[in-house]
Amino acid sequence: MSEHEKEKATQPPVSRAGAGPAPVIEGHKPPSAAAADRIAASALTSALVATPAIEVGDLALGKHVTVEVPLFNMDPGADAVLSTYLVGPPSLRLLSAPQRLWRSQGLNDPSKVIRLEFRPTEVGRVRGKVSIDAAWPAGNRPNEHLEIPIVGGAHLPDDPTLDEQDARKAAEQRRREAEKKDEGDRATTDKMIAQELAEDRDYHSGHLIRLDGQRIRAQTSLESLYKARHDSIDAAAGYIGEFVRVLPPHQTSIAEDLARFALDLATVTIAGGVAKRLEPAVRRLLGTTGMAAHTIHQGSRKIAEEAGSAAEPVVTAVADGIKHGVKSGGKVVAGKVAPQETGAGEPAAVGSDAKTDFLSAQRDRLLTDHDAGADSVSIRIHDALLPVLRSNPEAAIATMGSVADALAAEKPIAKTGQLQATLSQWLRLVAQTELGSVGASEARGKGMATRGESPLARMDGANQALPIGEEPRRHDGLVDVDFSASSRDPQVPVKINGARVLGVRQRIVEELRKLPLSALGVPVRASGHLDGGAASVTVTRDEAGNVAFTDNTTVPWRQATWLARKAGVNQGATDADERRGARKLFDEEIMIKTFETIPGGVKTDDAK
């Protein structure tokens, strides 16, 4: 083999036919098809051909890369003599370059390569170029000059790439510009509306006074609604009574977590009730307000045009305002403590400190909600109705009056709803201080359902087998349902014999008597013996609906367990079949019951 052939045999492999080999750049993709096409196009006019650009990448400081750039001599009859030099910062270094190029056999046959090193020492973009002068002493071709640009950059090791940083800066700039534009638009609209009101001050002065009077009435109704909720929390304190056991310090956050959930539970129900009561009246009043362009000035017309219809945006604004008025403090939590998980088997313990934490957190947050809610009614709804005042002042005034009426009508429902929410969450607190708790993050990690971010009762200790003639161990706060059933025909509904809740006073059970167990959202256990005690079944359900079970029924001749047969599977049943049977038992026969429809009622030990 000749020296010429040996040197060609050591060249890098071809990456795609017709495009030449890819530059060997660590961590980078080969040239695109478009780049390869540009190389091919340049070969039609020049004998010296190379990649159109050298990309050395965006490296973290401390890293380096070696780049190989293939060169092609497309002259059909003569070798080329080269003079190569690098222009660029010190981070770029020319390692080697050929002095002579033999003839290439097409663009899949590079003659030789230029080797570069990029070793960045500072952050930022890098620009440079490789300049090549080529001559063909033995051929009939003029000298050629080729410049190949070098592009790259460097970033700190823990920072994103420069392109990512630029993209973030551009996005932030667009956001600022959009905010500035929105502020300008709002300022322009506010100025127009202010001008309209000033122009019509004499005509609308009486209407404005009447509208403000209805606004004050709405504020008063909202204050009365919040006071009713506050009174319900005080009433719950009396229902709960005094406890003498001590709450372990690591469990104190449970009281505050469940207090927040009690407020949220009642708030969502009340806000939805007010909105449902209010929206039809508002839609009826504003549906024919006639906010036509010829009756209003540009400011109000702009509001109507941007919203899409004359009345609908005002209806939406009023409805949203009332919901925000009831729920506005929802994210402001007094005395917030991060949720903590507790283990099972802790001493049953609900003390006066826990009661204080549980009730005080609700009272404090309700005060915060009240202040923000009053502002919401004053500002949101009042301002939404100002444009309507121009075209139909009576409709605007009547709408604000409807807000006051809806809030006043919801007051007794809010009072009951808050009391029930507080007491149901107290049951959860009592249960979790004895059974232990599972935090929301832990529950999600196990694939369990959750109730927002509130902790769940740890039900492992309540899922017990029932030896014949014995009762399961009782746990405070757990709704314990006792049933009996036929082992021969599990499809026959079970007979509920009674239920009990320990660790709470009888007044709590009486106050919650009309709510189905599914609405209470408290931990429940159903325990029963089949055919007078031949076998036992226990099923537990936590506050989020996660079920666990123990089925001690015998399985002769591959017969399925009682729970599996409850699900309709008679042989060869799996754990999933038993779980479906457990859910069916709870969803269709247990959770639909209320405290007052359980035979014999629900017993307590009326703890003092």
The pLDDT-based confidence of 517 (bands split at 50, 70, 90) is very high
pLDDT at 345 over 50: no
Range in 133-137, 281-285, 337-341, 412-416 the model is least confident about: 337-341
pLDDT at 546: 94
- pLDDT of res. 374: 59
Q: How far apart are CA 333 and CA 363, in angstroms?
A: 11
Confidence band of 229 (pLDDT split at 50, 70, 90): confident
Predicted confidence band of residue 368 (pLDDT cuts 50, 70, 90) = low
Q: Where are the domains of the chain?
A: 3-157, 160-199, 201-241+248-410, 459-604
CA 18 to chain centroid: 51
Give pLDDT tens digits for 390-408. Answer: 778 888 888 888 888 888 8
Tokens of 14: 């071809």
Q: Which residues contact 350 (CB under 8 A, 6 or more apart)?
A: 243, 245, 247, 429, 430, 433, 476, 503
Q: What is the mean pLDDT of residues 540-560?
A: 84
Decide: 385 and 218 in contact? Cβ < 8 Å.
no
What dotted CATH number matches 3-157?
2.60.40.10
> How confident is the model at residue 413, as a pLDDT?
86
Output the pLDDT for position 32. Answer: 57
- pLDDT tier at 5 (50, 70, 90 boundaries)? very low
Residue 257 scores a pLDDT above 90 = no
Decide if pLDDT at 332 tops 60. no
**Which residues make beta-bridge pairs with 126?**
152
Q: Which residue has better confidence, 302 or 387?
A: 387
Per-residue pLDDT of 57-115, as tens digits, reads 999 999 999 999 999 888 888 889 999 999 999 999 999 999 998 888 766 666 688 99
Q: Rounded mean pLDDT of 271-288?
A: 70
265 Cβ contact list (under 8 Å, min separation 6): 421, 424, 425, 521
Contact 148, 130 (CB under 8 A): yes
Average pLDDT on 471-482 reads 88
DSSP for 142-211, please give it: --EEEEEEEEEEEE-TTSPPHHHHHHHHHHHHHHHHHHHHHHHHHHHHHHHHHHHHHHTHHHHHHHHHHH
pLDDT for 571 equals 85
Inter-residue contact 65 to 25 (CB < 8 Å): yes
Q: Is the pLDDT of residue 231 over 70?
A: yes
**The predicted structure's pLDDT at residue 308:** 34
Q: What is the mean pLDDT of residues 285-304?
A: 41
Is the CB of residue 370 less than 8 Å from the CB of residue 226? yes
Q: What is the pLDDT of residue 60?
A: 93
Assess whether pLDDT exceeds 50 at residue 207: yes
How deeply is 93 buried, as exposed, middle or buried, from its count of CB atoms within 10 A (0-12, 13-18, 19+)?
Answer: middle
DSSP class of 293: G
Is there a contact between 407 and 221 (Cβ–Cβ < 8 Å)? yes
Judge whether 524 and 428 are in contact, CB under 8 Å.
Answer: no
CA pair distance 16, 31, nearest whole angstrom: 10
Q: In the prediction, which pLDDT does 317 show?
A: 59
Looking at the chain, the whole-number percentage of residues with pLDDT higher than 90 is: 31
In this model, does residue 305 exceed pLDDT 50? no
Query: Any long-range contacts for 493-497 (C-beta under 8 Å, 24+ apart)?
Result: 493/588, 493/589, 494/526, 494/528, 494/585, 494/589, 496/589, 496/590, 496/593, 496/598, 496/599, 497/599, 497/600
Question: Higher pLDDT residue, 88 or 293?
Answer: 88
Buried b or exposed e, range 72-83, using 16+ CB within 10 angstroms: bbbbeebbbbbe
What's the average model confidence in pLDDT over 503-527? 91
- pLDDT at residue 103, as a whole number: 84
Check: CB of residue 528 under 8 Å from CB of residue 483. yes
Give the model's pLDDT for residue 358.
Answer: 77
The predicted-structure confidence for 444-470, as pLDDT tens digits, reads as follows 999 999 988 888 999 988 887 666 666
Neighbours of 178 (CB within 10 A): 10
Kindly report, residue by residue over 145-198, the tens digit of the pLDDT.
999 999 999 999 999 999 999 999 999 999 999 999 988 888 888 888 777 767
Look over the chain and give the mean of its residue pLDDT values, rounded to a whole number.
Answer: 77
CA angle 126, 130, 134 (to 5 degrees): 170
Look up tokens 């990690």; give the residue. Answer: 445
The arithmetic mean of pLDDT across residues 584-589, rounded, is 94
Across the strands, what pairs with 351? 244
Between residues 608 and 105, the one the model is more confident about: 105
How many Å apart are CA 502 and CA 431, to the nearest integer?
A: 9
Weakest-pLDDT range from 91-105, 130-144, 319-333, 417-431: 319-333
Lowest mean pLDDT among 150-154, 345-349, 549-553: 345-349
What's the rounded mean pLDDT across residues 341-345? 41
Least confident of 21-25, 92-96, 349-353, 474-478: 21-25
- Reduce the secondary structure of 424-490 to three states and give it as a string: HHHHHHHHHHHHCEECHHHHHHCCCCCECCECEECCHHHCCCCCCCCCCCCCECCEEEEEEECCCCC
pLDDT at 603 over 50: yes
Whether 19 shows a pLDDT value over 50: the answer reads no
Pairing of strands 524-530, 479-485: parallel
What three-state secondary structure class fits 334? coil
Distance separating alpha carbons of residues 483 and 471, to the nearest angstrom:
12
Residue 55 structure tokens = 């990309």
pLDDT(262) > 90 = no
Q: Which residue has the tokens 């009614």?
A: 377
Q: Is the pLDDT of residue 14 over 50?
A: no
3-state secondary structure of 58: strand
Given this model, what pLDDT does residue 7 score?
44
Does the pLDDT of residue 365 top 60, yes or no? yes
- Does the pLDDT at position 552 exceed 70? yes
Confidence band, pLDDT 50/70/90 cuts, at residue 377: low
* 393: phi then psi, degrees, rounded to nearest 5: -60, -35
The residue that leads in pLDDT, 344 or 107, is 107
Token pair, residue 582, equals 């457990």
In this prediction, residue 217 has a pLDDT band, given cuts at 50, 70 and 90, of: confident
Mean pLDDT score, 254-268: 70
Question: Which structure tokens are listed for 404?
Answer: 């006051």
Question: Residue range 126-136: average pLDDT?
Answer: 94
Instruction: Please identify which residue in the block is written with the tokens 């190029």.
Output: 101
Mean pLDDT of 215-236: 86
Amino acid at 328: S
